[in-house]
Amino acid sequence: MTHLLPLALRSAWNRRYSLGLTLLAIVLSVTLLLGIERMREAARTGFGQAVSGTDLIVGARSSPIQLVLYAVFRMGEATQNMSWASVEKLAAHPGVAWSIPISLGDSHLGYPVVGTTPDYFEHFRHGDRRPLAFAEGRPFAGLFDAVLGAEVAERLGYRLGDRVTLSHGMGGFAGAEHDDKPFTVVGILARTGTPVDRGVHIGLEAMEAIHLDWQGGAPVPGFSIPPELVAKFDLKPKAVTALLLGLHSRAGVFAMQRAIADNPDEALMAVLPGVALAQLWETLAVVERALLAISALVVAVGFAGLVAVVLAGLGERRRELAILRANGARPRDVFALLALEGCAVTIAGALLGTLALSGLTLAVGPWIEAHYGLALALALPTAAELRLLGLVVAAGTLVSLVPGWRAYRMSLADGLTPRV
């Protein structure tokens, strides 16, 4: 069969224009298939690293996934907060290296407001334990200072020194704005590709200050405390939404988790971020399968085009096949010739598709990482990608048997037909 390979390649070259279009379709489909697989893995990795370096996330007792959703992704609402006394008690624990309290509930034009402390900018990590960096400005220091995530600043066009007004809850109703206490933008964080980009960060004392003249989720009628007087009040937080903990030794994480669960003063729970994020990702597995199914359908369309082009050309190649038979080629040689042509086109499409993906990674990988936080680095195909390429080549070889079998039947018929 090896002697047929040069003949198959020359035959394919003679029909290079029609097969070239089919090859292009296979290249694009393979690029799409591998690209989706690579982005899926990057998304899984980035999702699991939305918060890194944090040993435990502590909050009021609920479900681990719910706690991660609002503590990390700022989605949903906490059914109950944890008291400030518990925050201070855990922060003072000898096994705790650092703690970051987080208070949620307010918003700014649909973006969540995150009340926290300056430790947030020092200890919070994302991705491969990368610290937060400032594109402009500095952390908040004054009572009404605000630090914006990259997406907030970009979408709303804010710059340092701009004034922003926060809303109670998610806003959307009259009287929800804290317009009597505006904030000044003092910092803009560099893009991380995580929920940090969508946050408006203020101090915990500021979160208390804007609610001094509010009660029961609404402003107290006829009562307003001007911004210059709020510092005279006790702005110590009474409760927070969640607490991020970093321990001196990760070996003690399970003991700390049990101690928090057994806390007699308040019903709390502590979850390991990596475990909870993995569970949360599993709920999105149907999306992964849907994306792979779509790309597999695109590959199938490319192979259907390959079969259609080869079958459509069989009538024109009848003379060519007859000459091959006259020169001693057997029907099975004709079958192998057509199968080899399809297999060669498939292998070429797989290789060119892999090279095309590498070129796209070099061209747009930095842009995707900067805007979406997906790290698409140039690398050799992974084991999963090699399996996909193997399936593509196997499927292409299989569908190439269809025109090969058709040519085999035609060859037999021509060989049995008497010539006048």
Instruction: Please say if the pLDDT value at position 11 is more than 70.
Output: no
pLDDT over 70 for what percent of the chain? Answer: 79
pLDDT tens digit string along 262-297? 988 899 999 998 888 777 777 767 777 777 787 777
The answer to whether residue 410 scores a pLDDT higher than 80 is no
Query: Cβ–Cβ contacts within 10 Å for residue 292, how many?
Result: 15
Q: Is the pLDDT of residue 419 over 50?
A: no
Look at residue 327 in the predicted model and tell me its pLDDT.
61
pLDDT of res. 420 = 42
Q: What's the mean pLDDT when you consider all of the chain?
A: 81
**What pLDDT shows up at residue 371?**
62
Residue of 17, 29, 2 lying closest to 357 (CA atoms): 29
pLDDT band at 254 (very low <50, low <70, confident <90, very high): very high
Q: CB-hemisphere CA count at 13 Å for 147?
A: 28
Least confident span in 127-141, 324-338, 356-370, 375-389:
324-338
Give the pLDDT of residue 411.
58
pLDDT of residue 7: 61
Residue recorded with tokens 């390991």? 272
DSSP single-letter state for residue 117:
-
* pLDDT attached to residue 99: 96
> What pLDDT is recorded for position 294?
78
**What pLDDT score was predicted for residue 246?**
94
pLDDT (tens digit, 9 = 90+) per residue, 115-140?
A: 999 999 999 998 778 899 999 999 99
Pairwise pLDDT comparison (24 vs 221), residue with the higher score: 24
pLDDT of 412 reads: 56
Q: Which of 268, 173, 269, 160 is nearest to 219 (CA)?
A: 173
Mean pLDDT for the stretch of residues 384-397: 85
Residue holding tokens 């842009």?
Answer: 367
- Asked if pLDDT for residue 67 goes beyond 50, the answer is yes
Is a pLDDT exceeding 60 seen at residue 357? yes
Kindly state the average pLDDT of the residues 53-64. Answer: 90
Q: Which residue has the higher pLDDT, 307 or 328?
A: 307
What pLDDT is recorded for position 345?
A: 81
Looking at residue 418, its pLDDT comes to 44
Q: DSSP states of 14-75 as a string?
A: HTHHHHHHHHHHHHHHHHHHHHHHHHHHHHHHHHHTSSBS--EEEEESS-HHHHHHHHHS--
Give the model's confidence band at 395: pLDDT under 50 very low, under 70 low, under 90 confident, else very high: confident
What is residue 375's DSSP assignment? -
Q: Which residues pair with 369 in a beta bridge?
A: none
Average pLDDT over residues 293-308: 76
In which element (H, E) is residue 341 found?
helix 331-372
pLDDT of residue 144: 94
Higher-confidence position of 102 and 341: 102
pLDDT at residue 62, rounded to an integer: 85
Asked if residue 42 has pLDDT above 70, the reply is: yes
**Does residue 278 contact residue 123 with C-beta atoms inside 8 Å?**
no
As a whole number, mean pLDDT of residues 179-206 equals: 92
The reported pTM is: 0.71
- Long-range (24+ apart) CB contacts under 8 A made by 6-9 are 7/337, 8/337, 8/340, 8/341, 8/344, 9/344
Q: Please, are residues 150 and 137 in contact by the beta-carbon 8 Å criterion?
A: no
